Chain A
Amino acid sequence: MTAWNAVVGIVARDLARTTRQTSRLLGGLARPFMWLLLVGTGYNAIARVESGVPYHAFVFPGIVVMAALFGAMLTAIATVYDREFGMLRLMLASPAGVPAVLAGRAIAAGLVGLAQGAIVLACAPLLVPVTPARLAAALGALVLAAASSALLGLLVASRLRSVENFAGVINVVLFPLLFVSGALYPTAGMPPILRLLAAANPVTYQVDLMRHAFGQAAEFEVGQDVLLLLGTTAVAFGLTVLLFDPEQRFLGRADGGERRPDGRVGGRGGPPDGPAVDALDG
C-alpha cells in the first residue's frame, strides 16, 4: 500500500505540474500540428509515396507517434530537473523505494504522451479514412507508443547529470529517434546503415503499429510490433532501475573537478517553479 500511495502521489503531482505549465503544454500540442501543416502540406505537393496514399495521410500516423514520443519522453526526462532542484531526493527518501518512484514517473510521463497523442489522433477523420475499429486500434497503438517512450525517456534521465544537457538530449536523442523511424518517410528507401538503425529503433515499431491501425502498408507484422514494444518497455524499466543511482543526487556534482560532499550545487533554494524545459522543449 505504501508503494501504491507513493505512485499515486507522484502521478498526481506530475499531472498537476504539466497542466500548470501552460507554455510547455501549448508548445507540446502545437508541435505536431505545425509539422502536419508545414511538412505534411508542403511535402504533399512534391512527395509521392509508393503505396499511393497522399503524403499528409502517410505522415499522419508518424505525427501521432511523434506527439506521444515528445510528450512522454520530455516529461520523463524532466526527472533531471527534480534531481537538480531537490524534489527527487524527497521521493527517494520515501519508504516506497526506487522502483515505485520510477514507476510513478513513468506512468505520469506515459499519460502526458497519451493525452498529447490522443489530441492529434482526434483529428484523424480530417486527414485519413477512419472507422471506429481503426480508431480503437490506433488508440491501442498509442498506449504502447506512450508507454515505451516514457520508459525510454526515464532511461535517458537515469544517466543525465544536469539540466544543461537537456537541449542536447532533444537534438541527439529525440530527433534521430523520430527521423530514423519511418515516421516522415518510408524506411525502405533509406541507405542500408540507416535501415539497420531504423530496425534497432523502438520508434520504428511504434510508427509501424500505428500504420497497421490506419490500414496503411507496414513493414513488420502486428505481433512483432507489439512484442517489440512490450519488450522495450519492460527492458527499459529494468535497465532504468539498475542504472538509476539514488545516491547520485546526494553526492552533488562535479564542480571544478571536485565533488562537494555537502551535496550543494550552488546557492540555497528550492526547485524551479516553472522549469526551463519550457524554453528548451523542442
Chain B
Amino acid sequence: MSATPPAIVTEGLGRDYGGVRALDALDLVVPMGALVGLLGPNGAGKTTAMLLLATLLRPTRGGARVLGHDVVRARGPVRRRLGLVFQETSVDGLLTVEENLRFAARLAGLGGPEMRAAVSMAIERAGLGSRARQPARRLSGGWRRLLDIARATLHRPPLLILDEPTVGLDPEHRELIWTILAAERRERGVTILFSTHYLTEAESADRVVLLSQGRVVADDDPSALRASIGAEVAEIEGPGAERLVRALRGLGATATVLRTERGYRVGIARDREAVIELATVAAGIERLLLRPASLEDVYFARTRGEAA
C-alpha cells in the first residue's frame, strides 16, 4: 500500500529577476493536509516561491510538483485544484460581494446551479450574508480580506496558498480568517501553505520554513525550531554584556548569539545553572532575563544571528 503523495514537492526551485536572485534553490516537501508557514524578511523570496507554486511564474531553475502535477507542464490541473490569496486584495469595488464571488466562481470553471450553490455556500462560510448585496467598495479592509478567503475557497480546492492573508487586519478579523481556515482543514483535510509576518500565527503550523535572501535557513516544526536555538533565551544588557557573552561562548553554553540594540540575545544550549551563576557575578550587567525561546528568537537567530 502506497503512502499519500505530498501536496507540494520542490527540488532546487529558483527564480531570478534579471540579475536579482529572488529565490535561490527551494527544497520543500509539504505533506497532504499539513499547515505550513513560510516566514522570512521582506524580499526573502516568499512571494516568489508562492507564485512559482501557483504556476504564475516560471522557474529559472529547479522544478516543483503540486498535487502531483508539474508546475510548468500542467498549469491547468494545478490551477483547478488550487485556492490562491495574493498579498494585496483582489476585490472589484464596483461589483457587489456576491458578484465578486460569481466572477471568481466562473473563473474557476463553475457555471449554472453549481456556481450559484458554491457562491451561496462561500458567503455563508465567510459570514458575508448580510453584506452579499453590498458593493465591495463599502467593505472594510477586514471584510475585503474575508471576501478574498471566500473567493479562494469557493471551489473547494484541496490546496490553499495564502500570501500574508492576515496582514494589516485587526485581531477580530484575523481570528475570523483562521477560524474559516481551521474549518477547511478539519472538514476537508485541506493543505495550507501561508506566509506571515505575525510569528504567533506560525506557532500553530505543523511546519515552519524560514527563508532568508532566497534560501531556506530553517525548516522544521515550531517546537524543534525553538529547541534548535536552545531551550531558553537569555537577554543580556549592560556595558559588560559583550564580556559575559564571550565567557558563555567559552563555556560552550550558547547555541546562537544575536546582537540587539541594547545588548545580546543568546540561545542557551546547556549549563543553565552555570550561565546564571556566571551572569550573577559578572560586572556591568544591567539586565538579565532568561525565558523560553520563541519563534521570533528563531527568526532573528536564523536571519540575522551568528552561530555560537
Contact = CB atoms under 8 A, between A and B. Distances in A.
A87 B168 contact: no
A264 B79 contact: no
Contacts of A6: 106-107, 109
B150 interface: no
Contacts of A215: none
B194 to A, nearest CB: 16
Nearest to B58: A247
Contact of A269 (B80, B84, B89, B109): B89
B143 to A, nearest CB: 12
Contact of B90 (A4, A89, A247, A272): A89
Contact of B56 (A9, A86, A93): A93
Contacts of B200: none
B79 A95 contact: yes
Nearest to B54: A93
B45 to A, nearest CB: 8
B93 A272 contact: yes
B166 to A, nearest CB: 12
A263 B50 CA distance: 12
Interface in A1-55: 1-2, 4-6, 8-10, 12-13, 16-17, 20-21
B188 to A, nearest CB: 19
Given A6-B109, A270-B88, A12 B56 contact: no
Contact of B107 (A16, A17, A96, A274): A96
A86 B108 contact: no
A247 B57 contact: yes
B95 A250 contact: no
Contacts of B18: 259
Contacts, number: 129
A251 interface: yes
Interface string B17-30: 11010100000000
B93 A9 contact: no
A144 to B, nearest CB: 28
A90 B107 contact: yes
Interface string B82-119: 00101111111111000100111111111100010000
A251 B79 CA distance: 19
Given A86-B88, A261-B22, A262-B43, A251 B56 contact: no
Contact of A86 (B43, B86, B111): B86
B191 to A, nearest CB: 18
Contacts of B58: 247
B107 A94 contact: yes
Contacts of A259: 17-18, 20
A238 to B, nearest CB: 21
Contacts of B167: 268
A282 interface: no
A250 B91 CA distance: 17
A97 interface: yes
A17 B94 contact: yes
A262 B56 contact: no
Interface in A38-87: 86-87
Contacts of A255: none
Contacts of B87: 262-264, 268
A259 B57 CA distance: 15
Contacts of A247: 56-58
A273 B93 contact: yes
B94 A5 contact: no
A174 B241 CA distance: 70
Contact of B103 (A13, A262, A273): A13
Contacts of A10: 103, 106-107
A250 B168 contact: no
Contacts of A236: none
A121 interface: no
A250 B42 contact: no
A226 B103 CA distance: 34
A139 interface: no
A1 B105 CA distance: 13
A94 B108 contact: yes
Interface in A242-282: 246-247, 250-251, 259, 261-264, 268-274
B94 A89 contact: no
B48 A261 contact: yes
B115 A16 contact: no
Contact of B168 (A2, A263, A264, A268): A268
B262 to A, nearest CB: 31
Interface centre among B89, B92, B102 (most CB of A within 10 A): B92
A235 interface: no
Interface of A: 1-2, 4-6, 8-10, 12-13, 16-17, 20-21, 86-87, 89-97, 246-247, 250-251, 259, 261-264, 268-274
9 contacts: A8-B111, A12-B102, A13-B92, A94-B107, A97-B76, A264-B88, A270-B92, A273-B135, A273-B137
Interface of B: 17-18, 20, 22, 42-43, 45, 47-48, 51, 54, 56-58, 75-77, 79-80, 84, 86-95, 99, 102-111, 115, 135, 137, 144, 167-168
